[in-house]
Amino acid sequence: MSGPRIVVGMSGGVDSSVAALLLRDAGAEVIGLFMQNWAEDDAAGDCRAEDDRRDAVAVCGRLGLPIRFRDFSREYWDGVFRHFIDEYAAGRTPNPDVLCNREIKFKHFLGAARELGAEAIATGHYARIDCIDGRHRLLRARDRGKDQSYFLHQLGQAQLAATRFPLGELDKGEVRRIAAAAGLPTAAKKDSTGICFIGERDFRSFLAQYLPARPGEMRTPDGTSVGTHPGVFYFTLGQREGLHIGGVRGRPQAPWFVVGKDLARNLLYVDQGHESPWLQSTTLHSEAAHWIAGAPPAARFACTAQTRYRQAEEACEVEVRDDGSLQVRFARPQRAVTPGQSVVLYDADACLGGAVIAATDAPAIAPDHAWSPAA
């Protein structure tokens, strides 16, 4: 008697390859599915999607698995990319991987798998799922350095019930060893980084195709002009790269960082020092939160949080507002907490949920006169 039918999202990388292998060896009836999420054109010609497709086909051939193909590029454009551009145009820094998981991989992909008669879907994400008293939990991966629960915090009970994460108990080195031992062509393939549809392209050049350059002035918080920028929406809080600020009279030879943006006046504010006081905050306010369990654990509770991927956990106190938004107070100051990114909450290894960051209590930069963040 065959095991459950499971459709594995085959990305053409080593992680999804090993996920399919493990499920096959566990007795499941495995079908591979390759998703095209971006319409190839000259603007994204080096996304390597065709290479990934060939690798996915080669892996399924090696494993003796059927493979199917689905084009979700229209769904990606409508459900992810429009929001991505709108957020940058508003001066915020979105996280498209979170939206892609919610809107594409665990919505349209899940729907396609059900059309194929699957009982569940599986991906190569590093995360775990368990079920206690009928309630599913999203847990961090055993390999904390590869844990991807941050990007999965928008999943709900129905999605978790229909999902498998075969790599949740493994570390990356073991995954590559399993792939090599099985002769998979992706065993030594380099991990993809950044946003998949951009590939190895320069991010600013890519964004400029949708948000044309609008040069403006770079200033310090005290109002001193130190250069020009190509467009405030190309930069994010805490960013060092791409500022191209030379020697400034009366200033030390120290790195500069983005500490603020004035979209209305097209000003980019910069300061020296990785730990600039203009980047520090202890409280953030969010948009309405999503809860893995369907509801928050309490109206007020203590937990840990991350405001960016691979950040160390930080102790905090959470207050859930009447409109579902959050106020999160940290035990110690946080650097460069960025509107548009996500705050994700944890109770030990269990991901509780999260929300998009709307604002923080970092010092505001007065537009027309100098003042100190300590004032």
Give the residue numbers annotated as catalytic, written as ranges: 100, 196
CA distance readout (Å), 343 to 203, 214, 333: 23, 30, 15
Residue 265 tokens read as: 């006046």
Among residues 251, 239, 237, 242, the alpha carbon closest in space to that of 365 is found at 237
Burial 136-149 (b: 16+ CB within 10 A, else e): bbbbbbbbeebbbb
Contact (Cβ atoms closer than 8 angstroms) between residue 224 and residue 365: no
Distance separating alpha carbons of residues 9 and 3, to the nearest angstrom: 18
Which amino acid is located at 234 in the chain?
Y
Residue 278 tokens read as: 């203009």
Distance separating alpha carbons of residues 208 and 104, to the nearest angstrom: 25
| Count of C-beta atoms within a 10 Å radius of residue 241 | 10
Largest interatomic CA distance in the chain: 78
Residue 307 tokens read as: 């405001």
